[in-house]
Structure 1
Amino acid sequence: MNFDLYWTKRKSDKKIVFLLTGLSCLILQACYDEDALHTCSTTLFPFQTSLSFNPNCIGDPSEGMSLINNGGTYSERNVGLTSTGKWGYANLKAEIVVHPQYDSARDFAEGLASVGVNGKSGFIDKTGKVVIPLQFSETFSFSEGLAAAKLNGKWGYIDKTGRVVIPFQFTEALAFSEGLAAAKLNGKWRYIDKTGRFVFSFNYGVLGLVYPPAFTEGFVPAELNGKLGFIDKTGKVVIPFKFDASGYGLHPSFLQGLVAVKLNGKWGYIDKSGQVIIPFKYNYTQRFDDGTIEVSTGEKGEDFDKTGKPIGQ
């Protein structure tokens, strides 16, 4: 028995989800690559086609929609998977809403999704209707009402009608956050506002990462002479450069007034004044969406609330 499959992946638990129909799916942990998905195959038991709906039959949904790809096959108990298929979208019931037809696609953001075909990119709504024609060479997701778009080798910003708000002039452009976006012009990164006005130059390192950070709670991290500090929306240094500038998978960002940074190889937490709230003595830390904090030295773990006060002591 042969089937064509749709697949998606969940970053949350690093699993691949195969959709057979809206009422059945297969979930497995094989074949997942954190950075890229090329090809993989695995032998599985035959599908059951009468399964009741499983809410885990979707990937990581964004605004109620999950990306799916039709590059999957099932034949004689073997699943084949490829990322060369077309992209579409399924809803939270694992029902296909936008049939796979695009060469590239991003998650929905602010009601629209960036999609591309034949080297052209634009936006669709949640019904699959094209609301901004596929006329750009590349587009990023909407953030704060604007999206970066590339045309004739230069980046600019458009609104949700497709109107050009900030002209195409940048060699690189990132999403807006808290009213500012990082864009590169004449070889230099700078932060601009939503009118395109230059606010300040970002003359710092990016902690070994690729791009400058987005503002969170009014601050961004920066690197100078191998040390980490923080600057505000005017470009002023507000927390001096004295913390470790390496060992971060993502840009450190404030959450409810606290941020995790490293000093002499150990994790701790500081507030927006730079005051140490949780001391630098931990090998591991994790911050949860509700602001609570988990730290450990490798043997014993400790928990703190969103203000940095110990829990359960």
Structure 2
Amino acid sequence: MTGNKVDLFPVAKNGKCGYIDHTGKLVIKLQFTGCLEFAEGLAPVKSGGKLGYIDSTGEYALRPRFEDGHAFSEGLAGVRFGGKWGYLDSTGKYITGQDFDAAGDFKEGLAFVEVGGKWGYVNRAGEYAVNPQFDAAGDFKDGLAAVKIGGKWGYINKAGKYAVGLQFNDGWDFVDGLAVVKAGDQWGYIAKNGKYVGKPQFEQTLDFSEGLAQVLVAGKWGYVDRSGELSIAAQFERAGWFKAGVATVKIGGKCGYIDKTGQYVITPQFAWAGDFYEGLAAVRAGGESAKAPGAGKYGYIDKAGQYAISPQFAWAGDFSGGIAAVKKAGQLALINKAGKVIWPSTVK
């Protein structure tokens, strides 16, 4: 545990769940009917049909009494009781009443809430920062939030004033100062002042990551830079986000990895390839023949394109905290970065 970060992972067996550490040791015994990941030192768990919160020792910080609840975010969590949502702190003290039909997580000091079909925002004091008035509302990112009224999207600041007026057919959250928007039937990007970065001219656009973003042109994916100019030509059947300088792409039915210049760092050879997390990426072996070793199975490669864990799984998830979920022999398991099964031990 570092600060309020808890390095424990939820696991389940025979209808009960608990938590293990990165070695696979059961730290909090299998006793709950539902377990979510720890956030800010506490984890939501279910017991007896009710939701509560435990600390890293497995002791209840908030005993099960809620119908539903979110993980803690910025020191507060939304919980449902009596069919309505409210917010409380980690001591169980409410900062609002059970006033809301729906409630989001706190982001940048505000959380979106729904009352009678309209959305607004509350602050950490439990007061309305922006009264419910929108048909839809997103989280605050970079000081702005996407909101919708009458089929059009715009962006407000934390005072509820429009920074960018209602004008788009769709609007996503700002990421690193730019937001994906749809104007007519074309997609593009705007800056926080509402001005377009390049022209809205693409069939689809995705969020920026490490200075580049995927765009769809004539059915093929490429990448634009922050000026909106095409940096890597549209040529791929699929294109992932850049992580640690590389992105997964699919071309000619095979998946590989490129760098930010568009050059291959791992040649296309896999039937499927995921993003790199903690130095490893899940891939599905292609093979020219269904009888080729590992064909159709999932394994993990390093950034040199070499198998760190040989293809042997029916499915493989991303690594987080040194652990990844995999499926083998018809059941889910957790493995470490050496490929050793740490939960459950019955997987062969």
TM-score (norm 2): 0.60
Aligned equivalent of 1:304:
336
Aligned to 1:126, which of 119, 134, 158? 158
Q: Does 1:100 align with 2:101?
A: no
Matched, 1:191 2:223: yes
Indicate which of 244, 248, 252 corresponds to 2:274: 252
Q: Is the 8 A contact 2:221 2:236 kept in 1?
A: no
Residues 108 and 141 of structure 2 are in contact (CA less than 8 Å); yes or no, is this contact kept in structure 1?
yes
Residues 255, 291 of structure 1: 8 Å contact kept: no
Q: What are the Cα deviations for residues 38-84 of structure 1, in whole angstroms up to 9, with x where unaligned?
A: xxxxxx968899x95369x854444444332224xxxxxxxxxxxxx
Given that 2:163 and 2:193 are in contact with CA atoms closer than 8 Å, whether structure 1 keeps it comes out as: yes
Partner Cα distance (1:195, 1:300) in 2: 44
Q: Which of 174-183 and 214-223 deviates more?
A: 214-223
The residue identity in structure 2 corresponding to 1:68 is V
Distance change >3 Å, CA 134–CA 231, structure 1 → 2: same
1:53 aligns with 2:93: yes
How has the CA–CA distance of structure 1 residues 239 and 95 changed in structure 2, closer, same or farther, with 3 Å as cutoff?
farther
Match of 1:239 in 2: 266
Distance in 1, matches of 2:249 and 2:114, equals 38
Q: How big is the shift at 1:275?
A: 0.9
- For 2:198 and 2:145, locate their aligned partners in 1 and report how far apart those are by CA, in whole Å: 20
Residues 222-233 of structure 1 aligned to structure 2 (within 5 Å) = 222-233=249-260
Matched, 1:117 2:149: yes
Question: Is 1:219 aligned to residue 246 of structure 2?
Answer: yes
Structure 2 Cα separation of the partners of residues 221 and 242 of structure 1: 11
Please point out which of 102, 112, 119 is paired with 1:67: 112
**Residues matched between the structures, number:** 252
Compared with structure 1, are the counterparts of its residues 128 and 47 closer, same or farther at alpha carbon in structure 2 (3 Å cutoff)? closer
Tell me: higher relative CO, structure 1 or 2? Use CA pairs within 8 A at least 6 residues apart.
Answer: 1
* Aligned equivalents of 1:137, 1:241: Cα separation in 2: 36
**Matched residue, 1:88:** 120
Alpha-carbon contact 1:223-1:241 (below 8 Å) kept: yes
SS at match of 1:274: coil
C-alpha change, 1:67 and 1:223, in structure 2 (3 Å) is same
Identity across matched positions, percent: 37
Once the 2 structures are TM-superposed, how far is the Cα of residue 284 of structure 1 from its aligned partner?
4.7
Structure 1 residue runs of 5 or longer lacking an equivalent are 1-10, 16-24, 30-43, 72-84, 207-211, 246-250
Residue 27 of structure 1, aligned match among 42, 67, 91: 67
In the alignment, residue 241 of structure 2 is paired with which amino acid? A
Equivalent position of 2:292 in the other structure: none
Structure 1 CA distance for aligned equivalents of residues 266 and 82 of structure 2: 57
Give the whole-Å Cα distance in 2 for the aligned partners of 1:96 and 1:141: 21
Alignment partners' CA distance in 2, 1:191 and 1:99:
39
Q: Tell me which amino acid in the other structure corresponds to 1:252.
A: G
> Structure 1 residues 301 and 54 mapped into 2: Cα distance closer, same or farther (>3 Å)?
farther
- The Cα of 1:221 is off from its aligned counterpart by 1.8
- 2:315 aligned with 1:293: no
Provide the residue aligned with 2:306 in structure 1.
Answer: 275
Alignment of 1:173 with 2:205, yes or no, is yes
Q: CA RMSD in A?
A: 3.7
TM-score (norm 1): 0.66
2:198 alignment partner, SS class = strand
Higher strand proportion, which one? Answer: 2
The 1-side partners of 2:213 and 2:83 are apart by 50
Contact 1:87/1:105 (<8 A) preserved:
yes
Q: Match for residue 266 of structure 1?
A: 297
Q: Is the 8 A contact 2:153 2:166 kept in 1?
A: yes
1:157 to 153, 165, 189: 189
Which runs of 5 or more residues in structure 2 are unaligned? 1-35, 38-43, 47-64, 70-80, 286-294, 343-348
- CA 1:108–1:290 in 2, change beyond 3 Å: closer, same or farther? farther
Deviations 1:200-256 (A, max 9, x none): 2232223xxxxx4222222222223433222222222222222223xxxxx721123
Conserved? CA contact 1:202–1:235, under 8 Å = no
